[in-house]
Amino acid sequence: MTKWLEEHTPKLVLAPSFIAILVFVYGFIAWTAWVSLTRSRLLPRYEIEGFIQYERLFDSPRWDTALNNLFIFGLLFILIAMFLGLILAILLDQNIRTEGAIRTIYLYPMALSMIVTGTAWKWILNPGLGIEAMVRSWGFEDFTFDWLVNPEMAIYTVVLAAIWQSSGFVMALFLAGLRSVDGEIIKAAQVDGIPTWRVYTAIIIPSMAPIFLSAFIVLSHLAIKSFDLVIALTGGGPGYATDLPATYMYAMAFSRGDIGQAASSAMIMMMVVFAIVVPYLYSELRSKDG
Amino acid sequence: MADLSMTQGVRQSQASKIALRWLLYSLLVLFALFYLMPLFVMITTSLKSLDEIRTGDLIALPREVTFDAWSTAWSSACTGIQCEGVRPYFWNSVLIAIPAVAISTLLGAMNGYVVAQWRFRGANIIFSLMLFGCFIPFQVVLLPMARTLGIMGIAGTIPGLIFVHVIYGLGFTTLFFRNFYVSIPAELTKAAKVDGAGFFRIFWSIFLPLSLPIIVVTVIWQFTQIWNDFLFGVSFSQAGTQPVTVALNNIVNSTTGVKEYNVDMAAAIIAALPTLFVYVVAGKYFIRGLTAGSVKG
């Protein structure tokens, strides 16, 4: 008995966590997938009816807006955050004396809750008393900066706040990458008289491909899960103008009482995440085993 | 002649080097201002009176510093119908975060130790399955979790939120410890086994004493995640058990009465203080946690 116990202790220690993950991650995904195929409304029903919820979803103009917004927001957020992060990392890589302090400043937003970030930017961007009013009080009477309340432009305020929050993190990733490039190669290139910008574009940046991939994965993951920032900054408004799939799902689940729509929109979100993350994780785990 | 032009060239390149240096530093300072501006505006707004906010400039320093907004935000601002400020919700967040961080870190350490040092058949598959769990959008578990918490009788309670945070933190904490323990040579465990030490003895007297850095990284990561969480907080709490992020959002978006921007800002800073404090004190470990999730191996 003790022998058996001794032999199986590691498995017994791992078992509760593993079972928890099986039930609360995979079991729950299965539940949501199942319910997304039923006619569930206020209460879940379990008779499979096919893809009616997904048909309703893609017929809904609100979901259409949410998907469009995800595309605009995701694309701009990922591209600009990566570009800014790379530029900042390269600037900081030039033997800056106060590097530690500057890095701390660039990265602190990452420690804040998205709700705090949203609250701050909501105040700064509000046309009545924020940047618009400030510039007007300087004498530019016609200055308008009303993105926050303009349905056409509101999504870009979400992009702005999200970049403010996350670009420092991308910088930290790239900076670590720059530091891990073989110094000998760079020295050799400099001895040969190759200009610094060429060293970056031809040698350093191409060698950081895996870091670009990591940054892309993390940022796209952040973009798809974006929920708190929209809630705090625009509340999804004006109207539904800044709805994202995450806010759509939440509205259906907790204020509209439409479980079928909530489940099907959650499943779409998960498919998008998995389409990006699964190939990445798979290759990561494979390369580690090999 | 040739010499002269050479030194001139050197002087010129020296001058352009200094100019470049200046450009570099001004760019860095400009970006620093961009990142600092919202924090600066939050702090100054929270120290102004409402009158001064209405008549004054967004980025002007307060003419008259007042802490009224801070005391309102802390103890009497309205989150819907309740008007007790963020104080009770701040303590809710503390009561949620401390046990959830402790339990998920402890479990992650044990799991990581098993996966890295006691490999058995299937251990890798189990670890991969747990790892995938880190990446799901939590929307996909919200509905069944709401029902499950109800069945367990902990819906809308602080223990319920602790439970949720422990479950969905396990993947990351296991990953952190696994990646740390994998670099410790397996011979150490083998030698200890030969000497008659068991599973827990080896963990307790060999692995745990080595683990301080990864414990710090994990605790900071989990604390930041849980403190800043909004989705679980807003989905699984009820009036009275809400975490501070939910209360902050309610204060800011409550439509009744006059909009008190200074109170909003003070409440936002209060909600941000614990994680900012951790970041300032242990920034190195904070960054290590952030990058550990993305640059592995």
Long-range contacts of A177-180 (CB under 8 A, 24+ apart): A177/A89, A177/A208, A177/A211, A178/A89, A178/A90, A178/A93, A178/A204, A178/A208, A179/A93
Measure in Å the smallest separation between the Cα of A82 and chain B Cα atoms: 14
Contact A124, B42 (CB under 8 A): no
Count contacts between A and B (CB, < 8 Å).
263
Residue of B nearest to A231 (CA): B249
Q: Is A27 on the interface with B (CB under 8 A)?
A: yes
What's residue A67's pLDDT? 93
Compare all CA atoms of chain A with the CA of B249 and give the residue at the minimum distance. A232
The sign of the torsion formed by the CA atoms of B97, B293, B142, A59 equals positive
Number of Cα atoms under 13 Å in the Cβ half of residue B174: 30
Query: Per the CB < 8 Å rule, is A164 touching B35?
Result: yes
> Which among A17, A164, A218 is the nearest to B107, CB-wise?
A17
Contact B167 A289 (CB under 8 A): no
CA distance, residue B35 to nearest chain A CA (Å): 6
Q: Judged by CB atoms within 8 Å, which residues 44-63 of A form the interface with B?
A: 44
Mean pLDDT, chain B, rounded, equals 87
Alpha helices, DSSP H, located in B56-138: 68-75, 87-117, 123-132
Three-class SS state of A128: coil
Inter-chain touch A32–B290, beta carbons under 8 Å = no
Q: How far apart are CA B68 and CA B252, in angstroms?
A: 17
**Residue B138 tokens, joined:** 């939590």
Q: What is the C-alpha separation between A38 and A49, in angstroms, rounded?
A: 5
- CA-atom Rg of chain B in angstroms: 26
What does the pLDDT average to over B32-42?
Answer: 94
**Using the beta-carbon criterion (under 8 Å), do B261 and A123 form an inter-chain contact?**
yes
Going by C-alpha positions, the residue among A154, A96, A102, A116 that lies closest to residue B271 is A116
Enter the ipTM: 0.88
Spell out the CATH class of A62-289. Answer: mainly alpha
B113 CA: distance to closest CA in chain A (Å) = 9
A residues 191-220 lying closer than 8 A (beta carbon) to B: 210-211, 214-215, 217-218
Q: SS3 for B82?
A: strand
Highest mean pLDDT among A144-148, A149-153, A212-216, B97-101: B97-101
Separation of alpha carbons B158 and B155, rounded Å: 9
Distance CA A232, CA B228 (A): 13
Query: In Å, how far is A212's CA from the nearest CA of chain B?
Result: 11
Q: Which two tokens stand for residue B4?
A: 């002269």
User: What is the model's pLDDT at position A188?
Assistant: 85
The Cα–Cα gap between B260 and B254 comes to: 10
Local structure of B246: helix, strand or coil = helix
8 Å CB contact of A14 and B24: no
How close B76 comes to chain A (CA, Å)? 19
R_g of chain A, CA atoms, integer Å = 24
Q: Worst-scoring range by mean pLDDT, A89-93, A182-186, B91-95?
A: A182-186
Query: Out of A94, A120, A285, whose CB is closest to B24?
Result: A94
Do the Cβ atoms of A116 and B28 come within 8 Å?
Answer: no
* Chain A contact probe: residue of B30, B125, B132, B143 with most A CBs at under 10 A: B143
| Residue B2 predicted with pLDDT over 70 | no
Over residues A263-277, the mean pLDDT reads 91
What domains can be seen in chain B, in order of their start residue? 2-66 (no CATH), 87-292 (1.10.3720.10)
Are B199 and A288 inside 8 Å of each other by CB? no
Contact criterion met (CB below 8 Å) for A229 and A52: no
Q: Do B143 and A259 touch (CB under 8 A)?
A: yes
Residue B62 has pLDDT above 80, yes or no: yes
Helix locations, chain A, DSSP H:
2-21, 28-35, 52-59, 61-92, 99-107, 114-125, 131-137, 154-180, 183-191, 196-198, 209-225, 228-233, 245-250, 259-289
Look up residue B190 and give its amino acid: K
Residue of A nearest to B134 (CA): A25
State residue B193 phi and psi, 5-degree precision. -65, -45
Choosing among B35, B179, B246, which should be mutated to test the A contact, i.e. which has the most A CBs within 10 A? Answer: B35
Q: Is there a contact between A137 and B271 (Cβ–Cβ < 8 Å)?
A: no
pLDDT given for residue A222 in this prediction? 87
Task: For residue B173, give the chain A residue with the closest CA.
Answer: A17
Q: What is the DSSP string of A28-50?
A: HHHHHHHHTTS--SSS-------
> According to the model, what pLDDT value does residue B296 have?
43
Q: What is the pLDDT of residues B150-201, one digit of tens each?
A: 999 999 999 999 999 999 999 999 999 998 898 888 888 888 888 888 888 9
Residue position matching structure tokens 């403010």: A164
Which 123-142 residues of chain A touch chain B by CB within 8 A? 123-124, 129-131, 133-134, 137
Q: Two tokens at A95?
A: 């033997």
Region B131-145: what's the mean pLDDT? 89
Q: How far apart are CA B26 and CA A23, in angstroms?
A: 54
Residue B10 has what pLDDT? Answer: 59
| pLDDT grade for B255, boundaries at 50, 70 and 90 | low
CB-based contact B138 A225, cutoff 8 Å: yes
Cis peptide before B159 (omega within 30 of 0): no
* Contacts with B135 from chain A: Cβ below 8 Å: 221, 273-274, 277, 281
The CA distance from B276 to B271, in Å, is 10
- Give the domain ranges of chain A: 62-289
Closest by CA to B132, choosing from B177, B183, B179, B170, is: B170
> pLDDT tens digits for A90-141?
999 888 888 888 989 998 999 999 999 999 999 999 888 888 888 888 888 8
Q: What would the mean pLDDT of A185-210 be, rounded to a whole number?
A: 83
pTM of the model: 0.89
Contact predicate B245/B86, CB 8 Å: no
Residue in chain B closest to A172 (alpha carbons) equals: B287
List of chain B residues whose C-beta atoms are within 8 Å of the C-beta of residue A232: 249, 252-253
Report yes or no: B69 and B263 within 8 Å, Cβ to Cβ: yes
Q: Does A83 touch chain B (CB under 8 A)?
A: no
Q: pLDDT by residue (tens digit) across B6-35? A: 455 556 678 888 888 889 999 999 999 999
> Å from B7 to nearest chain A CA?
19
**Contact residues, A window 251-290, toward B, CB-based 8 Å cutoff:** 253-254, 259, 262-263, 265-267, 269-270, 273-274, 277-278, 281, 284-285, 288-289
| B174, B227, B276 member nearest A17 (Cβ) | B174
Interatomic CA distance for residues A167 and A190, integer angstroms: 30
